[in-house]
Chains A and B, each alone.
Chain A
Amino acid sequence: MTLEEQIRLKNFVDRDYEVKGFSNLLDKGDHHIMIVCGADGIGKTSLLTRLVDECGRRSRRLVKVRYPGFGEFDYLMVMRQVIDALGENYFRPLLDLINYFTVPDYKPKIILELNGSIEVAKSAKFVNSTVGDIIGIKNVQLPPRSDMRVPEEERVIRLSKQFFSDLNAAVAALTADMGNNPMIIFVDDMEKMTESTRAWLWASVLRSVLDSTLKNVKFVLGIHDAPACDQFMEAITQVARLQPLEEGHITEYLNKRLKEVDQSLIDKVVAVSKGLPMTVATMVDSYLLKYPDRRAS
C-alpha cells in the first residue's frame, strides 16, 4: 500500500452505507459485482481504498487493477496487472498465447503431464509444433508479430478466453487455502480505459459471472457512470452511487486534518466545494499552505 493510500484511509469519512453494502457482498452470495459510480472527484478511489482495507481486515485475497497513471489502459494492461498480482505460474498458457501473437516465428507449446491413458486435445490440430518450455513473457504490450496477420478482434477473443480460464484455475488454487472465500478483484478508473476496453471488461465480467465460467470471484468496479444493466444483471449487481459529502462529514474531515476548525471555515468549504471530496481536500491543502501551524498532529 502506498503512503497516499494510507493517508486516504486515515482521512476517510462517510460512506458507511457503501461499506455496509460491500460487507454484504463479501458475506452473502446474492451479488457478484459492486459498481461504485459517481462524478469526478466524488471519492471513488478513496472508497475503493477503504474497501481494499476491509478485505485486508477480513483476510480476503484480492487483486487491484488501476490506471497506471499515463499511457494506454487497455485490456492487455488489465490482464497484465492481474498476472502480476497472482503470479505468472498460473498464467503460463496465456503467456504462451501472447508469445504466439507477438513473437515472430514463435511456435505455441504445450506441456503434457500424462498419468495413465488419456485423450489429449481430441479435436486440436498441431502444425509444425514442438513440445517444450513456455517462454515467460512479462511485457504484454508489444506489437503483434509481423509474420502473422491475426485481426485484433480475434486476438481479443482468444486472449480473453485463455485469461478467464487461467484466472479460474488461479482463483481455485489460491482461495482453497483461505477457506474458499471469494477472491475480490477491484478495478478502478474504468473511465480512463479506452472505450473498447471498457466494453470488453463489462461484457467479459458479466458473462463470466452469468454463465459461471469464473467461480468464486467477485468484482468491485469504479466508474464514472454505471453501465446499462437488464433485470438479470441487476439481480447480481449492486450499484453504489456516491453522493457529495454532507456538512457533518466535511466537518469530520476538517477535524481530522486541521487543529482548530471554526464554523466560518466550515461554511466556506461547504459553499465552495459543494461536498465534492477532492475539492474539500484541495481547499484544505491550500489552507495548510497558508497556515502550516494549523495542521493536526
Chain B
Amino acid sequence: MNTAGSTVEGIAANPLGTSIDMLCESMGTPRGVWLRLCAIPHGFNISILMALAPELGVDRAEEECLALSKLSIIKTIPKNPVFLPEKTPHVFDPQEDSLVIHSDARRYLFNDWLRKPNLGQFELASARMVDYYDERISYESRVSSAENEDLRIAGKRSLRDPVSRRTGTKEIEHESLWDQRIKAELMFHQLGADQGKGFVKFEKLFGQRRREHRLNDCEHLLKLVHEYDSLLTADCRSRLLYHEAKLALDRRQLISAKSIFHRVLQAVPSHSIDLQVKTWIHLGRIEAEKQNWVEAIVYYDNALSMIDWMDNPGLRRSFTYDIFRDLGVAYRDSGNLEQAEQFLQKSINYAEEVRSLESLAIGYNSLGTLYRKLGDSERAVSKYEKSLSVLNQLNDEFRPAQVYNNIGLTYLDQRLWNRSVSSFQKSLEIKRQAGDTIGQAKTLNNLMQAYSNLGKKQEAIETAEHAAKLFEEVEDYYDAALVVRNLARLYRRTKGRIGRVAANRYYEEALKLIKRSVEDRQFERSIGLMLEKQFVGRKGVLPQESRLLSEVQSIREEINSLNRRFWLPWWMWISIIALLLIVIWFFAPLVPRIFGHPSPF
C-alpha cells in the first residue's frame, strides 16, 4: 500500500499524519495495514477486523484488537457504558466492546485511502464491509422473525410492535439502534465499493428519513457521503447538493436553500435535465413562499422551457402538471386570476390524464381557493369537495384537514357561520389526531371568528385563548400575540368598563408576547444562529424585528384609541362656561327683545 507520509505535499506538514505514518511503520506489515484498514469503517471490533482482513482467524483478530486498543489514537466504546463500575477501570472486552480511531487520525487515514494508488484496495475492503453488513442485516432479520414466531406461539405481542420493543430488555433496545446504524454504515461502504449503487442507496435512505421527518438523521447521512467528497463524480456532487438544499427547505431555511439550489445549477452536468428542472421548480417555490411572484414565475418558466428536453415521458408529464399548478398558484396569488385559472385547469387535465390522484387533489384545492378569491363561493366549495373525495381515494389521513379549513373559510365569506363552524371543527379534529399544533392553532383562530359572528362570545374567547396557548407551546410568540390581539378586539366590541379592562389586559399581553418574540430573535442572533435572516415562517416571510416593532406600534395605537376619553377635565368645562357667558354678555345688547334691553334702533 502507498502511504501518504512523504509523498503528498501538505499532508507531510500535518504533525498527526506524520506521527501516524511513523506508528504504522513501527507496527510493520501486516499490523500497520490492519490499522489502516480499521480506518475505513467508523468503528470496529473482532468481526469487522475479520471481514476486512479475512486471513485473520478469531483468536488472532481478538489478539490484534487487544493490541490496537492500547494505542493512544484508539478509543474503547464499552457496550453498556451506563453499567460501568465507578472505581474499577473497565478493560477493553474484545467480545463485547467496540473500538474507534480518534476522528482526526481516522480522517487522515481515510483520506489516504481515497488517493488514486490506494483506490483498488480501498474498493475491495469496502466491498468486504458491504458483504459484512449485508450478512448482518439478514442475520438480524432472521433472529427477529424467529423471536416474533416464538412470541406469537407464546401468545405475546410481537417484537415488531414498537410498544413491546420499548418495554423489552436493554438488548432489544440496542438492536433497534443498531438496525439504523447498520443501514447507514451499509450505505457508506456501498459508496466506497461502487459509487453508483451506493449513491442510489443513499438517496433511498435519505428520502425515507425525510418522509419520517428525521431531519437530524438526514444531516448525519449527508455528513457520511461528504467523506467521499474527493471521489464523487460531478453528477453525484450536484445531486448531493440538491439533497442538502432540500434539507434546508425542510428546515425552512429559505435563504440557505436558495443559495444551495443556485450552486446545484452551477454544478449540475448539462445532461442531468431532470435535476435542473427540479431545481428551477424549487427555486420558484422559495420565491413563491416569500411572495415574490414575478421571480417565482420566471423560475417556473425556466423549468417549463426545459421539460421538452427530458427523455423520460412519464417524468416529463409529472413535472409538467406540477409546474402548471405552481404557475397557477403564483398567478392566482399575484392577482392574475384569469391566467391562474387556465394553468390550474391545465394541471388538473394533465393529472387526470395520467391518473395522478395526489396532483389532482392538490390541483382541485388550489382551484377552489382561486374561485374563493373570485368570490364564486359555490364553485369553490364544489372544487374543495372534489379534492376531499380524491384524498379519500388516496386514504390520505392528514391533508383533508387543510381542505376542511379552506371550506370553513369559504363559508365564512358566505356568512354561513354554522357551516363554517362545522368545517373548522372537522379540520381541527384531524389536526388534533395528527399532533399538528400550529395547524390546530390556526384553525382555532378561524373558528373564533365564526363563533364571534354567531354571537357566541364565550366560545369565541375560549377558542382564541386555546389558539394562543398552542402557539405559545411551540414558542411561536408572534402568532400567539396576533391571536391575543384578536381577543382584545373581541372584548373591545363589548361595550362597558369590563370589556375595556379585558381588552386592555389582552393588548398588554400581546405586547409582552411580541417583546418576547423580538428578544428571542436578538438572542438567536447574538449566539450566531442567524435564524432571523434565514427562517421564514409558515405564513410567508417571518416578520423581521422592524416589522415586529411596527406591530407593537399598531397595538399601542389601538390601546390609545380604546382608552381615549371625550370627557374634558373640570377646569376646561369651567373655562368653556365662562367663555360662553362672556360671549352672551357681549352679544346681549344686539338682541334686546330676548334679554329685555331697550332697542338701540
Contact = CB atoms under 8 A, between A and B. Distances in A.
Contact of A143 (B15, B77, B173, B214): B214
A265 interface: no
Contacts of A142: 162, 165-166, 176
B71 interface: yes
A69 B43 contact: yes
Interface string B199-234: 000000000010011111101100100000000000
Contacts of A238: none
Among B86, B163, B438, find the residue whose CB has the most chain A CB atoms closer than 10 A: B163
Contact of A274 (B15, B26, B220, B397): B15
A148 B165 CA distance: 19
Interface stretch (A21-29, A178-186, A199-207): A199-207
Given A273-B15, A276-B15, 7 more contacts: A1-B84, A4-B75, A148-B434, A150-B437, A229-B526, A229-B527, A278-B73
A115 interface: no
Interface in A239-276: 272-274, 276
Contacts of B219: 194-196
A227 B527 contact: yes
A2 B214 contact: no
B22 A192 contact: no
B527 A233 contact: yes
A82 to B, nearest CB: 11
- By size class, the interface of chain B is 35 or more
Interface in A55-109: 68-72, 74-76, 84-85, 99-104, 106
Given A1-B86, A141-B177, A199-B529, A135 B216 contact: no
Contact of B216 (A72, A273, A274): A72
B181 interface: yes
Contacts of A290: 26
B474 A158 contact: yes
Given A135-B166, A149-B436, A197-B216, A286 B181 contact: no
Given A69-B77, A272-B15, A282 B72 contact: yes
B249 to A, nearest CB: 13
Interface residues of A, number: 79
A203 B529 contact: yes
Residue in A1, A71, A76 whose Cβ sees the most chain B Cβ within 10 Å:
A71
Contacts of A100: 435
Contacts of A151: 213, 436, 438
A3 interface: yes
Contacts of B469: 123
B251 to A, nearest CB: 7
Contacts of A227: 527-528
B312 to A, nearest CB: 30
19 contacts: A2-B90, A3-B89, A70-B42, A71-B184, A100-B435, A106-B163, A137-B166, A139-B173, A139-B176, A139-B177, A146-B212, A154-B474, A157-B475, A203-B524, A233-B526, A278-B73, A279-B19, A283-B19, A285-B71
B92 interface: yes
A99 B526 contact: no
Interface of B: 15-16, 18-20, 22-23, 25-27, 41-43, 71-73, 75-78, 82, 84, 86-87, 89-92, 98, 100, 102-105, 162-163, 165-167, 170, 173, 176-177, 180-181, 184-185, 209, 212-217, 219-220, 223, 250-252, 397-398, 432-438, 465-466, 469, 473-475, 523-524, 526-529
A286 B527 contact: no
A152 interface: yes
Contact of B22 (A5, A136, A139, A283): A283
B22 A149 contact: no
B23 A152 contact: no
A127 B105 CA distance: 54
A281 interface: yes
A138 interface: yes
A68 B80 CA distance: 11
Contacts of B84: 1-2
Contacts of B42: 69-71
A98 to B, nearest CB: 9
Contacts of A272: 15, 18-19
B18 to A, nearest CB: 6
B146 to A, nearest CB: 21
A74 B162 contact: no
A74 B523 CA distance: 22
A69 B163 contact: no
Q: Which of A104, A192, A285, A287 has the most CB of B within 10 A?
A: A285
A76 B217 CA distance: 11
A30 interface: no
B100 A70 contact: yes
Contacts of A41: 16, 102, 104
Nearest to A99: B166
Contacts of B216: 72, 74-76, 152, 194, 196-197
10 closest A-B pairs by CB:
A228-B528, A281-B72, A70-B42, A69-B77, A137-B166, A286-B26, A282-B19, A74-B216, A230-B526, A289-B26
A147 B397 CA distance: 8
Nearest to B24: A286
Nearest to A273: B15
Interface in A169-226: 192, 194-197, 199, 202-203, 206-207
Nearest to B217: A72
Contact of B162 (A69, A71, A102, A286): A102
A296 B252 CA distance: 57
A68 B177 CA distance: 12
Nearest to B88: A1
B213 A282 contact: no
A6 to B, nearest CB: 5
A284 interface: yes
Nearest to A136: B167
Nearest to A229: B527
Given A1-B86, A2-B90, A290-B26, A150 B220 contact: no
A68 B213 CA distance: 23
A203 B19 CA distance: 38
A138 B73 CA distance: 31
A141 B183 CA distance: 14
A125 B26 CA distance: 68
A285 B72 contact: yes
A74 B209 CA distance: 15
A51 to B, nearest CB: 17
B248 to A, nearest CB: 11
A123 B465 contact: yes
A282 B20 contact: yes
Contacts of A283: 19, 22-23
A283 B15 CA distance: 10
A113 interface: no
B220 A3 contact: no
